[in-house]
Structure 1
Amino acid sequence: MALTPQNLLPGISNPLALLRKLEWRVRNAVESTLGGIYRSAFRGRGMEFDQVVRYEFGDDIRDIDWNVTARLGEPYRKKFVEEREVTLIVVFEDTPSLQFGSAGISKREALLELAGLVMLLGAVNRDRVGTIHATPRGYTLHEPVRGRGPIMHAAAELFGQPAPDITDGATTAAIPWQLLSRSAPKHSIMIWLGDFAPRPAPEGWPIFQRRYQTMGFRIDDPWERAMPAGEGFAAYDPVSGRLVNIGGTSAERAAHARWRESRDTAWRSLFPDQFSRLQVGTDENRLDALVRFFHRRMSAR
């Protein structure tokens, strides 16, 4: 059964019950549509360099070592060792703006569901999964663990984290990027889930992306994609903590379009590879979107 706003909201108050529902859906997706695509979409051609070997017909020409080939006068290629274990780090950036929702479900609830699906995919595929829950007031780090029970426990802890206090006035989460860069194993998969308001990239972000496989997952509300048509309305702005009257004037719609373009530009700048970013609406099925994401990513590889 697909989770709808009506049956998702009660589940957040009982994280383990919700996670068991999500686990059933994840296992069904792995058996019916994903198969090995999830793992292949992450690993690609392999990560760790092993040695240079003679090129043979059928080898991937992208692996040719042109320096060795030029010295020896015949083609040689780089051989890679496939990683036997994936370490998946889920970075959940919990900001007040995620508490907005126009369709009976907040962006935060939808993003938590997406994070849970990713973690359960890691559990089904026997990966090590760790989490960072970052808010404007600090962060909680859960070291990578392996196995259904520990990963379910970590996901339940993430689901049980309180939302940021919107009365504090802080809007940016404190993500410990330097700590991650020192502690996470090389070639870990780093999935950053957040609202991604327009802002500069974290310090050292290009180096971070070379060291890890980075992906960005974002939840969009329908009103963010397009302002409602018709007469004016009032909406609660969790960032300012007050009701905002929207008249639907041409000036407001133009300002909304500029904000959306600014946000999308910053989003594409953080994740230039279109197969490393996923946008899902609160009115969309998150698991279906995740399956399509992995299919697209695998096809691109």
Structure 2
Amino acid sequence: MDVKDIVKKVKQIEIRTKRSTDSALMGQYQSTFKGQGMTFSEVRQYQFGDDIRRIDWNKTARFREPYVKVMEEEREHTVMLMVDISASMDYGTQQAIKREYIAEICATIGFSAVGNNDKVGLILFADKVYKVIPPKKGRSHVLAIVSSILKADYQPSVTDLDGAMEYLMKAFRKKSFVFMFSDFHDEFELKNLRVVGNKHQLLGLGVYDEKDLEIPNVGYLLVRDAETGKKIWVNTSNPRWRYTFAEAQKQKLKKIEEAFEQSKAFFLKLNSGQEYIKPLYNYFQTQ
């Protein structure tokens, strides 16, 4: 995409997502992420009815009368968008290629966060972390994130999900709401996913084109792995081959879903040709 195309696409995405973020999705986001944590505010003298578990024993001993720690709701949150920019995420056989589909979802989440006075940041990764946009507030900041996703150089390489998760844990120690976008084509360590799931609130969004999961009967086809460049000829007219391929993809998806479940995290499978508002709404509703 050249600069004019990117500007045009960003504007289109802003217009399309305005309706969804002004509707029930915004309300559901706010009720989900409002006041999910407690942070220390001050220490004051004990008053009748205070929770004795809040007593500050050090100060109580020093002044010989009870003092309690006052806690308040954490109103401001950080949303981190992690986007896989390996080459397999840069194509589509339907109405939108994956990068555009992901950019629109990120805009929807980002604008919802802005409406809740939350910060939004971005990590673009493939075989390594390529770009990090630190969390900030504001609509213009979200549009800059969307632009970065659209204009990124998608890498012909294997995706290092482990490296991306390790970077997240080192760079962002405060609990965040993490949305991880990938086709999860490559293997990852369950232990790394568990570490992220225990520290942050994690949602994996598996973004797939319909041809990722099932290949139609089109005769002999030269198939190229977008990440490794490896090419092989396959006979798609063979029903056994098509069935075996589809079943392998189903088993892979099942394994990914189980890994997220074991890691106190959530996973959504999204088809890039279908709407995403309802699955997101349902996810927010369960939190």
TM-score, normalised by the number of residues in structure 2: 0.75
Q: CA deviation at 1:236?
A: 4.6
8 A Cα contact 2:193 2:260, kept in partner: no
| Residues 244 and 125 (structure 1), Cα distance of their counterparts in 2 relative to 1, 3 Å cut | farther
Local SS of the residue matching 1:199: coil
Letter in structure 1 aligned against 2:249: R
Q: Indicate which of 19, 38, 48 corresponds to 1:48.
A: 38
| Residues 11 and 19 (structure 1), Cα distance of their counterparts in 2 relative to 1, 3 Å cut | farther
Aligned to 1:171: 158
Structure-to-structure mapping, 1:111-122, within 5 angstroms: 111-122=102-113
8 A Cα contact 1:16 1:152, kept in partner: no
Q: CA deviation at 1:48?
A: 2.7
8 A Cα contact 1:129 1:151, kept in partner: yes
Aligned to 1:195: 183
Structure-to-structure mapping, 1:1-301, within 5 angstroms: 14-43=5-34, 46-48=36-38, 81-103=72-94, 105-164=96-155, 166=156, 170-173=157-160, 175-197=163-185, 199-201=187-189, 203-228=191-216, 230-232=217-219, 234=221, 236-237=223-224, 238-241=226-229, 242=231, 244-272=233-261, 276-285=266-275, 289=276, 291-301=277-287
8 A Cα contact 2:158 2:186, kept in partner: no
| Residues 16 and 82 (structure 1), Cα distance of their counterparts in 2 relative to 1, 3 Å cut | farther
| Residues 262 and 145 (structure 1), Cα distance of their counterparts in 2 relative to 1, 3 Å cut | same
Letter in structure 2 aligned against 1:159: L
Aligned to 1:72: none
The superposition leaves residues 166-207 of structure 1 with CA deviations (integer Å, 9 ceiling, x where unpaired) of 3xxx31236443332233252210110011125233643323
Q: CA deviation at 1:247?
A: 2.3
Q: CA deviation at 1:143?
A: 0.8
- Aligned CA-pair RMSD: 3.4
Identity of aligned residues (%): 17
- How many residue pairs get aligned? The number is 259
The superposition leaves residues 224-269 of structure 1 with CA deviations (integer Å, 9 ceiling, x where unpaired) of 33332x4425365223534744423133123313421332123213
8 A Cα contact 1:198 1:263, kept in partner: no
8 A Cα contact 1:132 1:141, kept in partner: yes
Bigger Rg over Cα: 2
8 A Cα contact 2:99 2:149, kept in partner: no
Q: For 1:104 and 1:25, locate their aligned partners in 2 and report how far apart those are by CA, in whole Å.
A: 15
Local SS of the residue matching 1:205: helix
Q: CA deviation at 1:300?
A: 2.6
TM-score, normalised by the number of residues in structure 1: 0.72
Structure 2 alignment gaps of length 5 or more: 41-47, 54-69
| Residues 248 and 103 (structure 1), Cα distance of their counterparts in 2 relative to 1, 3 Å cut | farther
Structure 1 alignment gaps of length 5 or more: 1-9, 56-64, 66-78
Q: CA deviation at 1:86?
A: 1.5
Q: For 1:154 and 1:102, locate their aligned partners in 2 and report how far apart those are by CA, in whole Å.
A: 25
Local SS of the residue matching 2:188: coil
Q: For 1:204 and 1:22, locate their aligned partners in 2 and report how far apart those are by CA, in whole Å.
A: 33
